[in-house]
Amino acid sequence: MPITVAFDVYGTLIDTHGVVVEIEKHVGNTASEFSRIWREKQLEYSFRRGLMQNYENFEVCTSNALDYTSSFFKIPLSRQAKEELLNAYKILPAFGDVKEGLIRAKESGFRMFAFSNGTADAVEMLLMTAGIRNLFLGVVSVDEIKSFKPNPAVYSHFLRKSGAVGADAWLVSSNPFDVIGAISSGMRAAWVQRSPEALFDPWGIEPTITVSSLSILADKIANEHAKA
């Protein structure tokens, strides 16, 4: 069976902090911290909605998180300012290693999919804007089953949609919760350690491999399969 690879999008392929430049226009020198809190709340709200089975899509989670962050910093945002920030989130840049890493993975014969908490339309726009959509066979969104990572159902959904089986399916993500979720569901997983300071959750569930850059991902996955 060919190797199937599910690439997480936000924070793995696409730099969610690429919105900082736009944030600076509205909040000044607190932009980096504003961006961090916004991202943390976005994920928290997706976790909570998944557990509560009170689904709203990822764009709603992102908007709600922006409202929270604005209140947290006591910086009111006009409707226009909020729209500008949310629109900026739709065209975030890819990390510098992404295109090269994806090309190498495709040349290695991997079946590649984007797999995201985001809606299919939002992910399609991000990938097109970043100039990498053509490297994927398709986009698989959790929105199709109205839940979020790391619900085991979303990984099963990916396997069904991609026609893959767990032993030959990999998740690639910079998010430890996503890596742990995929491994717990029978997939293999590569953790992309985007920062030397990034920590992996000490749950006793380790990533199959760890990479600091997508440029070495294809070789490490191939080497892991050669051991089997």
Task: State the catalytic residues.
Answer: 8
Maximal C-alpha separation, the chain: 56
DSSP 141: E
Residue pair 140/153 in contact (Cβ under 8 Å)? The answer is no
Tell me how far apart the alpha carbons of residues 100 and 107 are, in angstroms, rounded to a whole number.
11
Phi-psi region of 163 (alpha: psi -120 to 50; beta: other; left: phi over 0): left
Q: Which of these, 125, 98, 52, 62, lies nearest to 192 by C-alpha position?
A: 98
Instruction: Let me know if 47 is exposed, middle or buried by CB neighbors in 10 A (0-12, 13-18, 19+).
Output: middle
Residue pair 220/214 in contact (Cβ under 8 Å)? The answer is no
